[in-house]
Amino acid sequence: RVNRGDFMNALEEVHPAFGVSEEELQQVIQNGIIHFDGVVDEILRSGELFVEQVRTSTRTPLVSVLLHGPPGVGKTALGASIAQASEFPFIKLISPDSMVGYSESQKVAAITKVFADSYKSPLSVIVVDNIERLIDWTPMGARFSNAVLQALLVLFGRRPPKGRRLLIIATSSQRPILTDIGFSETFDSELRVPPISNLRALEFVLREVELFQSSDERRQVIKQLQEAGFEGDGLSSKFQIGIKKLLSMIEMARQEPDDVAQRLTGALVGLGM
């Protein structure tokens, strides 16, 4: 027998045509967020403030933020985390990975639909990931899809309908190009996501991912890197690595249990910094 409770449960189980794409977001934050540096918390805190601004200020129904920085520094994961933490009823990720094989017009249609869907929700966050790849920008001859670019520029500038509020979080590894192609005035705010550039942050990550059994081993790695000429701090540092690459090096080193420390220092020194 089906009772009213079952019926209501079934309704809830129906996947909404629009809303929060939990899986999609979760997937890009797969490895979590490691708080290896104060700047990580600063970026998340700024994100929180933008979320609050959209939630509470009637004057700013549209706020757009750009997260930019070198490849692999964690822009997508940070953008997705900020979006997820908002708990807004509509959260969507627009990513080039989900549009592989799309024609130009299919891309424009897909992007436009996400924005149109967002306008049905009182509060929305859209993460527009990797703008340069969305517009198929290629360094050779500086070519790109003008149709996708124009669609983005229009949508980024369009106020949501009355009573609706939208936060746009865009990411890019090619900040200078955005200016060249007309994005310079588009964002209300920009946050730079820096690479890991000191050994203290590196050591923090190593501890967090539990690569070594003992802290001695971990310190050994740090010492070797210091001896290899890696400076320990700030501006004088030669050491720069994105968290994404570091995590993948760590997982590679982990495959060889005998010589984890040697493998990791080898790989890091091999970066030629």
CB of 71 to Mg ion, least distance (A): 8
Q: Judged by CB, which is closer to ligand ATP: 31, or 262?
A: 31
Q: Using CB under 6 A, count the residues that bind ligand ATP.
A: 21
The whole-angstrom separation of Cα 161 and Cα 142 is: 35
Contact, 34 vs 208, CB < 8 A? yes
**What residues have CB less than 8 Å from 33, skipping those under 6 apart?**
40, 44, 74, 77, 78, 81
Q: Judged by CB, which is closer to ligand ATP: 25, or 243?
A: 243
C-alpha of 40 from chain center:
12
Ranked by CB distance to ligand ATP, the top (closest) residue is 74
DSSP SS3 for 1: coil
Choose from Mg ion, ligand ATP, none: what does 29 bind? Cβ within 5-8 Å by kind: ligand ATP
Q: Which residues within the stretch 166-225 sit at the binding site for ligand ATP (CB under 6 A)?
A: 173
Q: Is 142 left (phi over 0), alpha (psi -120 to 50) or beta?
A: left
Nearest CA to 152 out of 183, 192, 176, 175 is that of: 183
Q: Which residues within the stretch 61-80 sit at the binding site for Mg ion (CB under 5 A)?
A: 76
- 126, two tokens: 């859209």
Choose from Mg ion, ligand ATP, none: what does 74 bind? Cβ within 5-8 Å by kind: ligand ATP
Interface with ligand ATP (CB under 6 A), residue from 31, 112, 240, 262: 31
Contact, 253 vs 211, CB < 8 A? yes
Per-residue contact string for residues 73-112; x = within reach of Mg ion by CB under 5 A: ---x------------------------------------
Per-residue contact string for residues 62-81; x = within reach of ligand ATP by CB under 6 A: ---------xxxxxxxx---
Interface with ligand ATP (CB under 6 A), residue from 25, 34, 127, 241: 34
131 touches ligand ATP by CB under 6 A: no
The whole-angstrom separation of Cα 10 and Cα 244 is: 40
DSSP structural state of residue 197? -
The whole-angstrom separation of Cα 227 and Cα 131 is: 40
User: Using CB under 6 A, which of the segments 33-41, 90-98, 157-165, 225-233 binds ligand ATP?
Assistant: 33-41
Give the strand pairing for 189-192 and 165-172: unpaired
Contact, 91 vs 213, CB < 8 A? no
Per-residue contact string for residues 220-249; x = within reach of ligand ATP by CB under 6 A: -----------------------xx--x--
Choose from Mg ion, ligand ATP, none: what does 30 bind? Cβ within 5-8 Å by kind: ligand ATP
Give the strand pairing for 165-172 and 62-68: parallel
Q: Judged by CB, which is closer to ligand ATP: 68, or 165?
A: 68
Residues forming contacts to ligand ATP in the complex (CB under 6 A) are: 29-34, 36, 40, 71-78, 130, 173, 243-244, 247
Residues forming contacts to Mg ion in the complex (CB under 5 A) are: 76
